[in-house]
Chains A and B, each alone.
Chain A
């Protein structure tokens, strides 16, 4: 079992729709959760971080965390073609290293 799992996609949504991206993790005591966006041929860019159960909103993005169920999700409202990218979920491993464990990413395609 991978430590951080994501559906590889592609997830295809029409422009203006809500895109929902999901991620599950195996380490129950993980404390910090991040969503990175990566355009093709580019480096990852942090778009959201979340540390507590519940929702966190930032513009068109909402991150949701449920530690009991060990999942974190990202909602993108009013999806735009420019949102088309791979979205990487990352979890901070709780040990002396505090290193980020990344999922393989979900490719999102927003159709005009």
Chain B
């Protein structure tokens, strides 16, 4: 079974440019998460989807960040415009169904560098 797929793996952009990250969760996993992990820190949740519905986006900086999961499968996270402080690893994770005991499977992440 394929794991969570993310692309690109690395992205270098100049500040004020837009950037987009793509995630394809494990087949059949209804819940999808986007996390941001800064150097030396643990992942922090940005947004959680149940199928195509964003059920928790309280941590998403909505002035510049947006996300979508139109068909309840793959998802895109966008930043426009990017700022220097957005440099981080963006992780996508999925679970079969949300609940306190379900394992979250993480993708390899996208390392973003904003110059």
Contact = CB atoms under 8 A, between A and B. Distances in A.
Contacts of B104: 46, 100
Q: Please report whether the interface of chain B is mostly helix, strand, loop or mixed according to DSSP.
A: loop
Contact of A32 (B43, B100, B105, B109): B100
Interface string B38-56: 0011111100100000011
A42 interface: yes
Interface residues of B, number: 23
Q: Please report whether the interface of chain A is mostly helix, strand, loop or mixed according to DSSP.
A: loop
A104 B103 contact: no
A19 interface: no
A110 interface: no
B74 to A, nearest CB: 17
A88 interface: yes
Contacts of B33: 99
Contacts, number: 53
A8 interface: yes
Given A45-B106, A104-B42, A99 B100 contact: no
Interface in A19-57: 31-32, 42-46, 49, 51
21 contacts: A4-B42, A31-B100, A32-B101, A43-B109, A44-B91, A45-B106, A49-B101, A49-B103, A94-B100, A97-B56, A98-B99, A99-B33, A99-B45, A99-B48, A99-B56, A102-B41, A102-B42, A102-B44, A104-B40, A104-B42, A105-B40
Question: Which 9 residue pairs of A and B lie closest in terms of their CB atoms, listed nearest first?
Answer: A102-B42, A43-B106, A97-B56, A32-B100, A92-B100, A99-B45, A88-B42, A44-B106, A104-B41
Interface of B: 33, 40-45, 48, 55-56, 58, 91, 98-101, 103-109
